[in-house]
Amino acid sequence: MSAPLLVTGGSAGIGARLVSSLAADRPVVVLDQAAPAAPVPGVRYLAADITDPDSLTDLPAPLSGLVHCAGICRTGPFLDMPARDWTRVLEVNLHGTLAVVQACAPSITDGGRIVLFSSGTAFKGPAGLAAYAAAKAGVIGFAKSMAAELGARGITVNVVAPGLVATALSEDLLPAEPATIAARAIQRPSTVDDYVEPVRFLLSDGAAFVTGQTLVVDGGAYKH
């Protein structure tokens, strides 16, 4: 059996949809705070806090790769944001990314894959999302340096940056969804299904020469 793929944040939202798809043709291990109410058959679920490196010491090895979806969001004007909220957003979304990658990278087989999740907010910088946009922009910069450091082992490091998609993470932002849809070239709501095939490509043999890149999946709201 091939080495498993580790998916963080795989109990809900985009992560859960990725797990249900990817587990059909490869072994998958999920790292999240708790298992979902309806676990995917054959998937192993591990409980951990990504901000606590001590809880990341019992991960399986070797690994074929990592898909890091775990994250949180806090909204509100930056002038009124409590320092604890700013710190928490960076702690989970940016520092947690470092902790997970440090725990996993030594166990990822040569030629493996790392896919991180950022956000379209890192490019658009919408009002009310300063901490989230800053943390997710940091993920992109981190991925570029990681790609340079891990390239000698043939490990690719890429980023998916979703647009607004209706999940528990984005619940506070959904009132803005009509305006978001209107700004897209493809004017429809985004769903968790929209991220399955982009991630599959980045995990595939066909993406072996693609690294240090960010793929924005937002229906054409941000074009570059």
Q: What is the pLDDT of residues 33-52, one digit of tens each?
A: 999 999 999 999 999 999 99
* pTM for the full predicted model: 0.94
Q: What is the DSSP letter of 188?
A: S
pLDDT tens figures, 88-136: 999 999 999 999 999 999 999 999 999 999 999 999 999 999 999 999 9
Q: How far apart are CA 123 and CA 94, in angstroms?
A: 16
DSSP string, 36-96: -SSPPTT-EEEE--TT-GGGGSS--SSEEEEEE-------S-GGG--HHHHHHHHIIIIIH
Asked whether residue 170 carries a pLDDT value surpassing 60, the answer given is no
Q: What are the tokens at 222? A: 């941000």
Q: What are the tokens at 78? A: 């930056």
Q: What are the tokens at 45? A: 């679920």
- Torsion, Cα 195 73 136 108, to 10 degrees, reads -60
Asked whether residue 165 carries a pLDDT value surpassing 60, the answer given is yes
What pLDDT is recorded for position 181? Answer: 87
Q: Are 27 and 16 in contact (CB under 8 A)?
A: no
Q: How far apart are CA 222 and CA 120, in angstroms?
A: 7
Residues 6+ apart with CB under 8 A from 43: 10, 19, 23, 28, 29, 30
130: nearest Cα among 70, 77, 71 = 77
Task: Calculate mean pLDDT across residues 199-215.
Answer: 98
What pLDDT is recorded for position 62? Answer: 98
Q: What are the tokens at 209? A: 């020469």
pLDDT tens figures, 131-154: 999 999 999 999 999 999 999 999
- Name the residues annotated as catalytic: 132
Asked whether residue 1 carries a pLDDT value surpassing 70, the answer given is no
- In terms of pLDDT, which residue wins out, 139 or 165? 139
> Which has the minimum average pLDDT: 5-9, 38-42, 119-123, 181-185?
181-185
pLDDT tens figures, 208-222: 999 999 999 999 998
What pLDDT is recorded for position 175? Answer: 72
Average pLDDT across the chain, whole number: 94
What pLDDT is recorded for position 9? Answer: 96
Share of the chain above pLDDT 70, in %: 96
Q: What is the DSSP letter of 161?
A: E
Q: What are the tokens at 149? A: 């450091």
Q: What are the tokens at 118? A: 């950022």
Q: Which residue has the tokens 């725990």?
A: 103
What pLDDT is recorded for position 110? Answer: 98
pLDDT tens figures, 10-36: 999 999 999 999 999 999 999 999 999
What pLDDT is recorded for position 177? Answer: 79
